[in-house]
Amino acid sequence: MSRIDTNREFIPVSIAILTVSDTRKPKDDKSGTTLVERLQEAGHRLADRDIVTDDVEAIQHRVQKWIDDAAVDVIITTGGTGFTGRDVTPDALEPLFEKRMDGFSIAFHTLSHAKIGTSTIQSRATAGVAGATFIFCLPGSPGACRDAWDGILGAQLDYRHRPCNFVEIMPRLDEHLRRGAG
């Protein structure tokens, strides 16, 4: 069973938040604000925050800059995971993934199903790793962002979380890149 090991010290990580929307502005970006509040309450650092339109190139461009930035450990996007014509976040970001994190989608949909039932299938929430950076693509609702943070990300981004967590493997995410260089 998972637990917090109080003998371990909390290690903050740097997280960038990207809202994907044709209509949101900083003042009404409730989902982005929810994520920023959650990560800061947990003790993490907000590396950056931005809003881009539902456009594959705009999403890829913004996220690639964060992937290339060694100061960003984690990227969380909100919005654009549905099935309408403008919902393109997974289409934009999955090609950037070096490794997919299928377990995230399963865990997210399990949590979501308990709250909204079969409506969870209307989300293409996804995650992966690119350039030693974790990337999580969440739906655009504040409720979905709360569920993902409170039910998955908050624990996995806490070094004290046992039996394992993402923070302890971060130093090894780029082993394949370093091996090729050496």
Displacement of CA 118 from its chain's centroid (Å) = 23
pLDDT at 156: 98
Flag whether 4 is in a domain. no
pLDDT along the chain (182 residues), means of 10: 91 98 93 98 98 97 97 97 95 97 97 96 97 97 97 98 96 75 53
Q: Dihedral, CA atoms, 132, 133, 137, 141, nearest 10 degrees?
A: 160
Q: Is the peptide bond before 163 cis (omega within 30 degrees of 0)?
A: yes
pLDDT at 180: 57
Displacement of CA 58 from its chain's centroid (Å) = 17
Q: The domain spanning residue 175 has which CATH number? A: 3.40.980.10
Q: How far apart are CA 135 and CA 75, in angstroms?
A: 5
Flag whether 7 is in a domain. no
| Count of residues making up the chain | 182
Q: How far apart are CA 55 and CA 51, in angstroms?
A: 11
- Domain count within the chain: 1
pLDDT at 110: 97
